[in-house]
């Protein structure tokens, strides 16, 4: 079946530094990808998305890079702040035989040190 993996389960960064969270996916047919942020005790919250016809998309302090050749996504957070501490999930869209659902990885926990 399809799978989503993350290179690191935890990431610790200093406040003000840039963070990079990586994600590998298995389905080469995935054409839509979302990054979610989940704070403790809350539901996942949309951060940014990207479609497969793009290789980079920027939001406010966040950038997502997509490398379809190696099936890899990354989320870059600039000037990381304590409020960025959370678990981050990448979610590629599954294949058509799965109703086009989003496939969630296990997440990377980002800790920001003051």
Partner 1 sequence: EAQVTQNPRYLITVTGKKLTVTCSQNMNHEYMSWYRQDPGLGLRQIYYSMNVEVTDKGDVPEGYKVSRKEKRNFPLILESPSPNQTSLYFCASSLSSGGSEQFFGPGTRLTVL
Verify binding: residue 7, partner 1, rule CB under 8 A: no
Stretch that binds partner 1, among 20-28, 61-69, 73-81, 91-99 (CB under 8 A): 91-99
Residue 12 and residue 2 in contact, taking contact as beta carbons nearer than 8 Å: no
In the shown chain, the binding pattern of residues 15 to 54 toward partner 1, with x for contact by CB under 8 A and - for none, equals ----------------xx-x-x----xxxxxx--x-----
Angle at 13 between CA 9 and CA 15, to 5 degrees: 145
DSSP state of 102: B
Give phi and psi for 84, each to the nearest 5.
-85, -10
CB of 44 to partner 1, least distance (A): 5
d(CA 109, CA 98): 27
Chain residues that interact with partner 1, rule: CB under 8 A: 31-32, 34, 36, 41-46, 49, 89, 91, 93-94, 99-102, 104-107
């Amino acid at each position: 079946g399809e799978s989503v993996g993350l290179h690191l389960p935890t990431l610790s960064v200093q406040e003000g530094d840039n963070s990079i969270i990586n994600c590998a996916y298995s389905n080469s047919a995935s054409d839509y990808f979302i990054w979610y942020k989940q704070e403790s005790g809350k539901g996942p919250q949309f951060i940014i998305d990207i479609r497969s016809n793009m290789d980079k998309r920027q939001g406010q302090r966040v950038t997502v890079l997509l490398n379809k050749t190696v099936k890899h996504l990354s989320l870059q957070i600039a000037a990381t702040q304590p409020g960025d501490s959370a678990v981050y999930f990448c979610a590629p869209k599954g294949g058509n035989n799965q109703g086009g659902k989003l496939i969630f990885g296990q997440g990377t926990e980002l800790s920001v040190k003051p």
